[in-house]
Structure 1
């Protein structure tokens, strides 16, 4: 699947810093989830947002470098593939000053009917939102 890359830039706030003086590992996951949700919110119309929701099945993150308060980052996400009700979304967080990849991550999502919370097949209407 040739999915567009959706991205947001952030400046690392003090609230993201842990006791070791760098970004807490859980914050990276939060940033990934936030950009994924923003991607859906930007692309899906009101009707789709009322009918469907996305639930996380699995996360994996590879940490490659540390980041510190005040650094500028770009958080990127795109759809790698989908089948049935499942979707694989990939992420990169890149430090803008040197283009260093800070993390690479993957989340497996499941599309569910917002009323029944049962898995729902990803339709062509939904899949084409991200191409």
Structure 2
């Protein structure tokens, strides 16, 4: 399984009134790292003809992140069949290596021309496996 990782640093804009990262921000990061993974490995031609939409999203929060923490966002696809794929994102404190949050999201593959679900072709499945 192909993993993809990025590092981010928690900024003041990421915090809630408790000075922890706001839960909504984690959801944004899940979407951001999935998009970056897609852009990094899918050709421009593929990206122009297909896109993904989120169908279901589950996130489990384990520990808080605070200002200036450096976080590793690690993502990988655990299943891709038919028109859907299941992607996991782990958000890890890069200094302590402790898991802060973990998400599992089901994405639907969409044909950009018809705006309808499309079967995931083998060339796309190979990108992530």
TM-score range, shorter chain: over 0.9
Structure 1 match to 2:7? 9
Structure 2 match to 1:107? 105
What TM-score, normalized to structure 1?
0.96
What TM-score, normalized to structure 2?
0.98
Q: How many residues were matched structurally?
A: 129
User: Gaps (5+ residues) in structure 1?
Assistant: none
* 1:86-97 equivalence runs, <5 A: 86-97=84-95
Q: Secondary structure at the match of 1:48?
A: helix
Q: Per-residue deviation at 1:59?
A: 0.5
Structure 1 match to 2:128? 130
Q: Over aligned residues, Cα RMSD in angstroms?
A: 0.6
Deviating beyond 2 angstroms after TM superposition, the runs of 4 or more aligned structure 1 residues are: none
**Cα distance in 1, alignment partners of residues 68 and 15 from structure 2:** 10
CA shift digits 1:3-38 (9 cap, x unpaired): 211010011011000011100001001111100000
Structure 2 match to 1:65? 63
Structure 1 match to 2:54? 56
Q: Per-residue deviation at 1:95?
A: 0.2
CA shift digits 1:45-104 (9 cap, x unpaired): 111011101010011000000010100110010000011000000010000111110001
**Cα distance in 2, alignment partners of residues 116 and 125 from structure 1:** 20
User: Gaps (5+ residues) in structure 2?
Assistant: none
